[in-house]
Each structure stands twice: as C-alpha cells, then as structure tokens.
Amino acid sequence: MVSTSSVAPSIDETLDRCVEDLRTGRFVVVVDPRDPGDQGDLVIGAQFVSADAVNYMATHARGLIRLCLTDDRCRELELGPMGPTGETRHGASFTVSIEARDGVSTGISAADRARTIQAAIDEDARPEDLVHPGHVFPLRTRPNGVLERARRPEAALELVRLAGLVPAAVICQILRADGSGSTVDDLIDFCSQRGFAATSVPDVADHCRRLAPVAAT
C-alpha cells in the first residue's frame, strides 16, 4: 500500500480497486518506494491498449512505454535479449524491440505502437508476425513473478493476472513535467488529480505470498 491514507485505506482495499480497475480497462499506478527518483509506473492491461491509451501514457506519464510479457510468451515469440544480457542495472530484462510486421507505417505513432502490442499478445501470434528492431520495448518478467523479483514489471503482470486478463501489461514511467523522476508525493498528486488507484510493489508481493500456499494445494 502507498504509505498515505489519501491513496488507500488498506492493502486489501487498494489491491481490490486496482484489480477491478484493470479488469475494466482503466489505468492504475504501481509504486516502488525503494527506487527514489524513478518510483512509479502507469499500468494498463495490454489487451485494452489503443492508440488513445498509448498517447495518454506518452503525454501524461512521459517515460518509456514498455510491454511486460511472461517468460513463456517471450520464448514463444523468440524474443532474445537486447544486448549481451538484456538486463539493466536494476535487473529488468529487456528483449529485442519489436514492431508488427503488418498494419503499421513508421511504427512510432500511438496507433502503430498499439497495433504492435496487440500483435504481440494475440494468442495466435507467431515469431514471424513481428520484426526487429521496433518501437515497442518488451520486458521479460521472471517465471515466478514478484516472488522471484519484486519490481514494477512483475507487480504489474501479477495485477493483470489477478484481474483475469491476458497475462501482459503495458507500463510507462511517471515523470515530472520537467522530465525528472517522480517522488511518492508526486505520484499521490498524479493519482488524486486523475482518480487512479495505486498500490506498491511490496504490497503486491505480500499478497502473492499469502496466495502461494493456497495455489500449491
């Protein structure tokens, strides 16, 4: 839970609202208070991504738009790492960037990026439906999610799974208007002004730990 009563009164209520909002195609915010200056992502279930959604993220969140995929999905689409390891200094695993083979022009427009995302998450998608490099940046999440790596991409994917959606999330770092990283207070204001629900990576991880014994039985 984000540590303020103005965002959420309890962990369970926060998670419930985030899950319900994602289920209905709304944005939510996922915060990681351990990352000063780069703390929050705007999140939406990938199946709901449209040109308007991409444009909203680019305009209001301002950061890099990324597509969070499962490890299995990345293997199915033959998405290898970007660079020798594909990992950033925080352990995020970038794959090669992608573009839909069909239905796009330059690839950079909001409509083109939305088309690429939809092509990548289509249940019948094949590796040849995508080309490289492109203007969409997939992240390979860990097989055991936040229980293996408690960071924002894994937390976003866990939330869309809890919502019963296609296991893919689109996330965008929330930056200040001057381009600098956001603080917790900035994120509280961001959510308050737009009516977005918010939760934190530790709270999503704690929720998944509570569910893990049930899932194992």
Measured between alpha carbons, how far is 72 from 167 in angstroms, rounded to an integer? 11
Quote the pLDDT of residue 125.
97
Residue 15: name the closest of 215, 150, 213, 201 by CA.
201
Summarize pLDDT for 103-133 with one digit per residue, the tens.
999 999 999 999 999 999 999 999 999 999 9
Homologous superfamily, domain 11-216: DHBP synthase (3.90.870.10)
Mean pLDDT on 10-23? 91
Residue 78: name the closest of 35, 129, 14 by CA.
129
Summarize pLDDT for 137-173 with one digit per residue, the tens.
999 999 999 999 999 999 999 999 999 999 999 999 9
Confidence check: pLDDT of 1 > 50: no
Confidence check: pLDDT of 201 > 70: yes
Summarize pLDDT for 174-184 with one digit per residue, the tens.
999 999 989 88
Q: Which amino acid is at 128?
A: E
Residues 6+ apart with CB under 8 A from 196: 21, 26, 27, 28, 29, 42, 190
Summarize pLDDT for 40-74 with one digit per residue, the tens.
999 999 999 999 999 999 999 999 999 999 999 99
Residue with tokens 């925080």: 90
Q: Domain residues of the chain, as ranges?
A: 11-216
Residue with tokens 């992502």: 41
Quote the pLDDT of residue 46.
98
Task: Give the up-direction half-sphere exposure of residue 163: CA atoms within 13 A in the CB hemisphere.
Answer: 32
Measured between alpha carbons, how far is 206 from 211 in angstroms, rounded to an integer? 9
Which tokens is 148 given?
A: 């293996």
Mean pLDDT lowest among 90-94, 122-126, 148-152, 187-191: 90-94
